[in-house]
Amino acid sequence: MTRDPIHGHDREASPGEMPFGRFVFAAKEDAPALWIDEECQGANGSVGSLVPDRFEGILRVLPAAPKPTGWWADYRSQFQTIASIGERYTTTPERAWFAIWEGHGFDKGSTRIASSTQLDEESSLLLAAERRMATMQDGQRNALIRVELEDLQQFHRPNRAYYLLGGPVKSATRLVFPGFNEWRNPDLFWPDDRAWFVATDVDFWSIYVAGSRLFLSALSSQMQTANEWVTMDSPLDVDL
């Protein structure tokens, strides 16, 4: 049993499972993503530096309001809505591409073991032994994840390197944090026909969706959180 270093959920590891889950496959080459850097010509810090310049419009989906619990589930719901509507506005709903930034610390997970501040000597010794065992298991798991990640195809953009995965559009909500059973959002994803494009980043929580105005209008009406039209020149504002 291991513990998610971010969200605190336990899970049993699944032997033979690729690092980001069984609903995606590792790309064999970076060719499906090379168009992105070619078409992102905006100034640094602008929407155009993140989103390719080929679409009719861009919608910024703002994150849900902060709250003590349930925020991550709300964030996943945003991706669920985008993917479910996006499936209807692409000719390739069963083939899409997902990019995940390499710097999220996937091979640095650690198990947290809570304890009371007042323990007798025997309990303290048992707790220390448990922590030593957890540290050893964490090291073994992280080493295995590191090896698995090294085998994945990457592609590069200025200041970012991403793992490139493929799968159905709906896999946007089926990715998992390597070594755990908690959802991991893609940083970028798009269908193989490039009918639309979805992007976020480690520096903010808003989701930028580019595509046809018909698609974006349908999406805007279905989102449960605030959203707004932006342009390639709009700044990438920090959220929360």
Domain that holds residue 163: 2-230
* Domain-embedded: residue 41: yes
Q: What is the pTM of this model?
A: 0.81
- For residue 102, how many C-alpha atoms fall within 13 Å in the half-sphere facing its CB? 17
The pLDDT score that the predictor gives to residue 4 is 34
Tell me the per-residue pLDDT of 13-38, one tens digit each, with 9 for 90 and over.
343 467 899 999 999 999 999 999 99
Torsion, CA 71, CA 174, CA 60, CA 226, rounded to 10: -40
The residue to which tokens 């323990």 are assigned: 119
Q: Is residue 238 part of a domain?
A: no
Residue 235 lies in a domain: no
Which DSSP category does 62 fall into? Answer: P
Q: Is 173 helix (H, G, I), strand (E, B) or coil?
A: helix
The answer for 113, left when phi > 0, alpha when psi is -120 to 50, beta otherwise, is: beta
In a domain, 22, yes or no: yes
DSSP count for the chain of H helices, then E strands: 4, 11
Instruction: Answer yes or no: is 217 within a domain.
Output: yes
Number of domains in the chain: 1
CA distance 22 to 97: 15
Q: Which of 35, 32, 10 minimizes the C-alpha distance to 182?
A: 10
Dump pLDDT digits (tens) for 47-88. Answer: 999 999 999 999 999 999 998 899 999 999 999 999 999 999
SS3 state at 208: strand
- DSSP tag of 183: B
